[in-house]
Amino acid sequence: MNLILLGPPGVGKGTQAKLLIDRFGIPQISTGDILRAAVKELTPMGAKAKGYMDSGALVPDEVVIGIVEERLAQADCQKGFILDGFPRTVPQADALGQVLSGMGKSIDHVVSLSVDKGELLKRLTGRRACANCGAGYHVDFAPSKVAGVCDACSGQLVQREDDKEETILNRLAVYEAQTAPLIAYYQAAGVLRSVDGLGTVEGVQSDILAAIRA
Ligand code: AMP
């Protein structure tokens, strides 16, 4: 199954993708995670991407298209994949279509997740991750036992640079301007499945499963 999770930052794409990996045994391809790893490892690509990411802007299309093309060619994508955070622009969606058609593949479902802006802000500003092991927390919805300290490894919990309120507002504006047009794009292609992202993680997951089985 070849799946795209589409939706604004904070809607729950990453959380839902992780559950889908376990269910279907196919990998999640998160361009955000790949870019953050490149920034951390100080690769040339990471150095190029960092400024865009810190301000909440999109990294240039050719960079992310190259990342995804390379990743899709790997053996673990044979049975399918879950794209999380890609495509984010119409040129990226066009390029993806071309890459897949060159491999004799296509997208089966685009799950469009939505929640209102107030909820997105609450989710993103409270998001924390362990600087050591990467475990995710939320100050209100999924707090650690001791504030600021990871339950799993006692590492320090940190906020993503781009989860500061000013940057979040920019990321949401960028989403509206550049990514939201993909809803109509995939609707026209007949693969769009709309799912309400508000509710429990398990409830949203079962709505996603129902939408892709329908
Ligand atoms: P995310 O973790 O998906 O919210 O992505 C974090 C940041 O990485 C975004 O704000 C962008 O700067 C960059 N990024 C991730 N995916 C893409 C993409 N498909 N196109 C352009 N920039 C991206």
pLDDT in tens, the chain (214 residues): 999 999 999 999 999 999 999 999 999 999 999 999 999 999 999 999 999 999 999 999 999 999 999 999 999 999 999 999 999 999 999 999 999 999 999 999 999 999 999 999 999 999 999 999 989 999 999 999 999 999 999 999 999 889 999 999 999 999 999 999 999 999 999 999 999 999 999 999 999 999 999 8
Query: How many angstroms is it from 59 CA to the middle of ligand 1?
Result: 7
Selection from 39, 57, 63 nearest residue 166 by Cα: 57
Question: Are 84 and 5 spatial neighbours (Cβ–Cβ below 8 Å)?
Answer: yes
∠ CA 24-30-34, rounded to 5°: 130
Q: Whose CA is nearest to atom 6 of ligand 1?
A: 32
Answer yes or no: is the C-beta of 113 below 6 A from any ligand 1 atom. Answer: no
CA distances to 38, 65, 179 from 91, rounded to whole Å, are: 23, 9, 10
Query: How many angstroms is it from 143 CA to the middle of ligand 1?
Result: 25
Answer yes or no: is the C-beta of 29 below 6 A from any ligand 1 atom. Answer: no
CA–CA separation, 172 vs 120, rounded Å? 9
The whole-number pLDDT of residue 186 equals 98
Answer yes or no: is the C-beta of 179 below 6 A from any ligand 1 atom. Answer: no
Domains of the chain: residue spans and CATH:
2-26+79-115+178-213 (3.40.50.300)
The whole-number pLDDT of residue 37 equals 93
Answer yes or no: is the C-beta of 168 below 6 A from any ligand 1 atom. Answer: no
Query: How many angstroms is it from 145 CA to the middle of ligand 1?
Result: 30
Question: Are 98 and 68 spatial neighbours (Cβ–Cβ below 8 Å)?
Answer: no
Q: Annotated active-site positions, please? A: 13, 88, 127, 160, 171
Residues whose CB is less than 8 angstroms from the CB of residue 122 and which lie 6 or more positions away in sequence, other chains included: 140
CA distances to 139, 148, 164, 176, 197 from 145, rounded to whole Å, are: 10, 9, 23, 36, 27
Total-model pTM? 0.92
The minimum-distance atom of ligand 1 relative to the CA of 174 is 10
DSSP string, the chain: -EEEEE--TTSSHHHHHHHHHHHH---EEEHHHHHHHHHHTT-HHHHHHHHHHHHTPPPPHHHHHHHHHHHHTSGGGTT-EEEES---SHHHHHHHHHHHHHTT----EEEEEE--HHHHHHHHHTEEEETTT--EEETTTB--SBTTB-TTT-PBEE--GGGSHHHHHHHHHHIIIIITHHHHHHHHTT-EEEEE--S-HHHHHHHHHHHHH-
What are the φ/ψ torsions at residue 140 (nearest 5 degrees)?
Answer: -105, -45
Query: How many angstroms is it from 30 CA to the middle of ligand 1?
Result: 9
The whole-number pLDDT of residue 133 equals 94
Tokens 């362990």 correspond to what residue? 130
